[in-house]
Amino acid sequence: MPGARKGGQMNISIWVSDELYSGIEEARTLLKAREKRQIDRSQFVRDALREKLKELGVTLPDDAILPPDRTGKGGRKKRDAEIESMPPEPARNIVKYSDHSDEDTMLVAEDPPRFSVPTAALAAAGTGIECFDDLPFDENDLTETDCSYPKARAVIIRGDSMEPDYPAGTRVIVTPGIGPDNGSLVVANLKKGGIVFKRLYLPKGAPLMDSCEDGPSQGDTTPIELRSLNPKYAPKRYTRRDFYWIYPARPAINPRGRT
């Protein structure tokens, strides 16, 4: 069955039509007996589908099976449009499986592909390292990630400044050569202060941030604020000239595949 994982576990979201529901013998038979009680037909058949999958050793989260569109305001086309609008980078590969007609369609959102990237411990990096590629990356210490960026690397963070979300020892993915967005997580190399893992904020209306790796430019005086998640650490302000580089960072495996 599409989306199968080790141990018979699956991590999928399923959009199903009434035709698929009617294919479940238990649901089709029992529905007739229960319709007079004015039960929630959609919920009932979804429960029946979940039980059938459970018999096959498939475990789904409570919100995985979504009801068909019965509003009459878009129907299948509206649902398909919503799926097509999903951004490509999260790699939630939408695969269409059809039996006899479009009415027999089941759509499955599969897990994104995984990659392995070299890892460096920031605690071992020391100071005086200007170039990101000069960090002590260990080709034998690989971090699994759903980030497909070719130059992505992993770093092991140190300290408690980003607790509770990112305690010391957490592995995050860095994408060198890309400018960070306002409000994004970053790994930054300060000319005075070494390499830090923080969240970056720019003033309202400030120009888009670049990676700072090309040295001073016109945006030198724009204040760049780095904040910790741990409230015991105050935000600190810098300008572009204070950095060797600033690169976006993200969890090794993003929730729901988001970048």
183 and 200 both lie in a single domain: yes
Distance CA 217, CA 135 (A): 25
Q: 2 vs 203, which has greater pLDDT?
A: 203
N-to-C CA span, the chain: 28
**Containing structural domain, residue 122:** 115-257
72 and 142 both lie in a single domain: no
243 and 121 both lie in a single domain: yes
95 and 169 both lie in a single domain: no
133 and 242 both lie in a single domain: yes
Instruction: Give the end of a domain, one of 109, 139, 160.
Output: 109
Q: 171 vs 41, which has greater pLDDT?
A: 171
pLDDT at 158: 92
249 and 185 both lie in a single domain: yes
Domain containing residue 213: CATH number: 2.10.109.10
Instruction: Give the end of a domain, one of 75, 109, 143.
Output: 109
Which position has the token pair 């004015």?
38
Q: Which element (helix H / strand E) includes 217? A: none
Which pTM was predicted?
A: 0.56
Residue range 140-194, pLDDT digits in tens: 999 999 999 999 999 999 999 999 999 999 999 999 988 899 999 999 999 988 8
pLDDT at 129: 79
Residue 59 resides in a domain: yes
Q: Which residues contact 162 (CB under 8 A, 6 or more apart)?
A: 170, 197, 198, 228, 229, 230
Number of domains comprising the chain: 2
Q: Is 3 exposed, middle or buried (0-12, 13-18, 19+ CB in 10 A)?
A: middle
Q: Is 198 helix (H, G, I), strand (E, B) or coil?
A: strand
93 and 129 both lie in a single domain: no
> Does the structure show a pLDDT above 60 at 36?
no
Q: Is 71 helix (H, G, I), strand (E, B) or coil?
A: coil
Residue range 49-101, pLDDT digits in tens: 667 666 666 665 555 555 544 444 444 454 455 445 544 433 333 333 333 34
DSSP state, 111? P
Q: 61 vs 122, which has greater pLDDT?
A: 122
181 and 238 both lie in a single domain: yes
Residue range 196-250, pLDDT digits in tens: 999 999 998 887 788 887 766 655 788 999 999 999 999 999 998 899 999 999 9
Beta-strand runs (E) in the chain: 14-15, 65-66, 94-98, 105-109, 115-121, 138-145, 153-156, 171-174, 185-190, 194-201, 224-227, 236-238, 243-251
201 and 83 both lie in a single domain: no
86 and 131 both lie in a single domain: no
Residue 187 CA to its chain's centroid (Å): 18
Q: Which of 15-19, 32-36, 45-49, 54-58 has the lowest mean pLDDT?
A: 15-19
Q: Is 211 exposed, middle or buried (0-12, 13-18, 19+ CB in 10 A)?
A: buried
139 and 249 both lie in a single domain: yes
Residue 183 resides in a domain: yes
Residue 1 resides in a domain: no
Residue range 103-119, pLDDT digits in tens: 444 444 456 688 999 99
**Highest mean pLDDT: which range of 1-10, 41-50, 157-166:** 157-166
120 and 93 both lie in a single domain: no
Name residue 108's amino acid.
Answer: V
pLDDT at 213: 76
